[in-house]
Amino acid sequence: MVQLLKSSIIFDVVYYCLHVCNIIAINTLNWLVANYAKNIMLLHCVYRIEDLLRRVILDVDSGIDDIIAILVALRSSNICIVGISTVNGNVNPNIGMSNVLKALEIENRLNIPVFQGARRSLRNRSQSSKMKIGREVSHGRRGLGNLVLDDKKMNELWNRITPDALKGTHNYSDFIEFILQKYPDDNISIIATGPLTNIATMVMKESESQQRIKEISIMGGLYRETGKPTGDIERSVEFNFYSDPEAAKIVLNAKHRFMIRIVGLNLTQNPKCSINKDLVKRICSTNGHGRSPSEASKFLSSLLDYKLERNTGLYLHDVLAVFMLEEPSLFRFVKGEVEILTNEGSERGLSVFKKDSAGQVLVAFCVNGSRFRHLLQGRLRCVGT
Ligand SMILES: [Ca+2]
């Protein structure tokens, strides 16, 4: 309050002096402009801009689209990333940590804590060889296409910058408590773009402080507006939910505790969300606003080109989970309940949506494709600048 008063008085004195020296005249327009400037200045004095944004934790399995989602989220003017956790999925949490640190290094945001979470699914089951092959084809052996990071260097970096409280534990609840204590007055939201193992362990702990976690935005599953997916069931089982269906079930059953939004493959693989060669070229050539190729633009084009080489169109599934939290008006949501099948067999991990106006889960069924691409391009062209 004292700081506020001081700033206000200094501003008024400067304004009056400028008038006395005949530099500005005091009239209605000048007075309005000056007061607007004053209010903005005071707002900056009292709150840092990042304190006004929603605080968000990202939980990722560090494939190509997770890393792009991190870069997109870091460039948001609606949310502030306060921590990133890794989970076993596209890669293990240690390699996942290296990939995340690389993205943070490019954005000069190594002040964000990175936590290495669950190394196995709740049932400790390994992925089928078919899923492993699919995962490697989509993201490369280490999650970043053809890029290979220096493990020793990344582990040293992580050890140097990570608070001691986050070392020596893989328990996600420890990480959540650390973040909640760091921001004692704020609610926290989570964006989950990998298997839900970490989030499920948090849900099972049921601590009181978790009441400050208000919303979870999830990429997972595949949905029809009514009932079970039809056709090729194996192709309807999505990687994140397949990798840990028990965890997905636990999180979705906690719908009374958080607001849950989900986007599934039915939407992320919709042609409206496809990124073609031209858009990749535009993003990479304008990244850094057209200056000579920076480390950031080489990094981006390496990731995006890897995906494009293997597909006619490129889908950045996890980016939609970020936009779903910070730009929900991009989507049309349908309220209902989601059931995850955990029985053995080809349906294991399948997600079944039941429309219900009293339901507590919001599933995205439609997106404004042109706004999605526009936002994506705008964010990525700034990466590394
Ligand atoms: Ca992912």
Domain boundaries, the chain: 1-46, 53-380
Report how far ligand 1's centroid is from the alpha carbon of 225 (Å). 23
CA distance 206 to 341: 24
Report how far ligand 1's centroid is from the alpha carbon of 135 (Å). 10
Report how far ligand 1's centroid is from the alpha carbon of 64 (Å). 8
Burial 191-220 (b: 16+ CB within 10 A, else e): bbbbbbbbbbbbbeeeeeebebbebbbbbb
Report how far ligand 1's centroid is from the alpha carbon of 341 (Å). 20
Report how far ligand 1's centroid is from the alpha carbon of 124 (Å). 19
Class of domain 53-380: alpha beta
Note the pLDDT of residue 52.
73
Note the pLDDT of residue 291.
57
Report how far ligand 1's centroid is from the alpha carbon of 1 (Å). 44
Report how far ligand 1's centroid is from the alpha carbon of 195 (Å). 8
Report how far ligand 1's centroid is from the alpha carbon of 318 (Å). 6
Note the pLDDT of residue 321.
98
Q: What is the pTM of this model?
A: 0.86
Report how far ligand 1's centroid is from the alpha carbon of 59 (Å). 9
**Single-letter residue type at 157:** L
pLDDT tens, N- to C-terminus, the chain (385 residues): 445 566 667 767 776 777 777 666 666 667 777 777 777 766 665 556 666 789 999 999 999 999 999 999 999 999 999 999 999 999 999 999 999 999 999 999 999 999 999 999 999 877 777 677 777 778 888 999 999 999 999 999 999 999 999 999 999 999 999 999 999 999 999 999 999 999 999 999 988 888 899 999 999 999 998 777 776 667 789 999 999 999 999 999 998 889 999 999 999 999 989 888 888 888 887 776 655 567 888 899 899 999 888 876 789 999 999 999 999 999 999 999 999 999 988 899 999 999 999 988 999 999 999 999 999 999 998 888 7
CA distance 110 to 175: 17
Secondary element (H or E) of residue 55: strand 54-60
Report how far ligand 1's centroid is from the alpha carbon of 4 (Å). 44
Report how far ligand 1's centroid is from the alpha carbon of 91 (Å). 9
Report how far ligand 1's centroid is from the alpha carbon of 161 (Å). 24
Report how far ligand 1's centroid is from the alpha carbon of 208 (Å). 29
CA distance 81 to 132: 30
Note the pLDDT of residue 1.
47
Report how far ligand 1's centroid is from the alpha carbon of 114 (Å). 16
Ramachandran bin of 157, using left for φ above 0, alpha for ψ from -120 to 50, beta for the remaining angles: alpha
